[in-house]
Each structure stands twice: as structure tokens, then as C-alpha cells.
Chain A
Amino acid sequence: DGGITQSPKYLFRKEGQNVTLSCEQNLNHDAMYWYRQDPGQGLRLIYYSQIVNDFQKGDIAEGYSVSREKKESFPLTVTSAQKNPTAFYLCASSAPGRAWGQYFGPGTRLTVT
């Protein structure tokens, strides 16, 4: 079955450590996205990528970094510069253009203490 996988489901880190969240898709989608979701809030776009080896900052990119070396993979690194990293992180992908909507992974809940 095609879909998006995010691992792990839960992630715990100590303050000051970088952590990388995995996102893999087998939908053959060109575009991939990372969102952050805080309790009771909507989705905020961190980074997006339309094609391999290219990505753009979203609304809240500070303290985050990404890479897009393969079409299937779009890992997100939460760096120690991110002031409030504890959140629910969602990865999504879409076919080219706006017509098809986005498909979401199950999310990773990151807790930093």
C-alpha cells in the first residue's frame, strides 16, 4: 500500500541535542512538507520541497533544517537553536500542483526536556 511513514511515533530528547525526524513516502509524489502542530492550534508550515535537492522555508523555519536527497525522503532536523521544540510534527506529500490535496503521515510527537 502507498503511503507516508514517519518514525518514530514518540521521540524524547534532552535540551541542547539535535534530533532528526524521518519521513518516507512511496506515493511517487514530487512535493513534501513538514508542519508543526501545538496543542489546540492548527498547522504551521516549517519547510517544503517541490523537487529533489530543492527546498524552501515555510513560516517557522528558524531552528529547523531539512534535506531532500531522494524523492522518497524528507528528513527534518530539529536543532538546539529551536527554542520550543516540543510539539507534534507532521509530514505530508502531494502530487504536482494544487489539485490533489496533501497526504499526511501519522506524525511524530517530540518531547524535549
Chain B
Amino acid sequence: AQSVTQPDIHITVSEGASLELRCNYSYGATPYLFWYVQSPGQGLQLLLKYFSGDTLVQGIKGFEAEFKRSQSSFNLRKPSVHWSDAAEYFCAVGTDNYGQNFVFGPGTRLSVLP
């Protein structure tokens, strides 16, 4: 069965530092991959998505992610973190099952130090 893991439960970085959030997936077919961000008490917002083509995808708020098929990874990066980036980040894979189309990872909570 398909699954998504996010090895880091909680990450703390200083404002202005670079960021990388890890995501690994298990899926037999071509993956459709997504990153979402959730601020406290809010819904999830789509940051970026990968379907095919260029393995480095750009998203909103200055985020990017790189798909590496050989490592089954889709890590999220940002060169310089802002205090407003503090939130929960979820990786997800879109499957081709009719019905339950999406599997979410457990999330990584990002804290930003001033």
C-alpha cells in the first residue's frame, strides 16, 4: 500500500537560515506529489505539486521541492526562512485508486527562532 513518511516531527531553524523538510513515499506507479502548509487553527494550503517533467518545482511563498525517484523522496526547501513560515507542513502523494486518492504524511512542525 502507498505511504508517506516525514522523518522529522519537529524542526527549529533561525530566521534567515535555510530549510529542508524531508518526505519519502512508497508508491508503485508514477507519483503525483504535493506539499501543504497549515497555520495553527487553519486549513491546509497547497504550496506546490509535482506531476512530471522538471524534477525541481517551484511553489508559492518562495518554496521549492525536488523529486528524486531513485530515493523516493520529495524534499521541500527554502533558502531563507521567515518568521511567518512557522507552521505545520504536510507531504502527500496522489494515487490512482478510484476513491481514496490521496495519502498524507504525518506532518513536520516548523518553529522559527528570531
Q: In the docked arrangement, what's the CA distance between A37 and B98, Å?
A: 24
A16 contact set on B, CB distance < 8 A: none
Cβ of A52 within 8 Å of any chain B Cβ, yes or no, is no
B51 contact set on A, CB distance < 8 A: 99
Cβ of A48 within 8 Å of any chain B Cβ, yes or no, is yes
Q: Which residue of A lies closest to B94 (CB)?
A: A98
B side interface size, CB within 8 A: 26
A90 contact set on B, CB distance < 8 A: 43-44
Cβ of A53 within 8 Å of any chain B Cβ, yes or no, is no
B101 with A94: CB separation less than 8 A: yes
Contact pick for B32, options A58, A99, A109, CB 8 Å:
A99
Q: In the docked arrangement, what's the CA distance between A56 and B101, Å?
A: 12
Q: How many A-B residue pairs have CB under 8 A?
A: 63
Q: Which residue of B lies closest to A48 (CB)?
A: B100
Which residues of B pack against A, CB within 8 Å? Answer: 32, 34, 36, 41-46, 49, 51, 90, 92, 94-96, 98-102, 104-107, 109
Q: In the docked arrangement, what's the CA distance between A9 and B41, Å?
A: 9
Give A85-113 as 1s and 0s: 1 = Cβ < 8 Å from B's Cβ atoms: 00010101010011101111111010000
Which residues of A pack against B, CB within 8 Å? Answer: 4, 6, 31, 33, 40-43, 45, 48, 50, 56, 58, 88, 90, 92, 94, 97-99, 101-107, 109
A98 with B104: CB separation less than 8 A: no
Q: In the docked arrangement, what's the CA distance between A6 and B41, Å?
A: 13
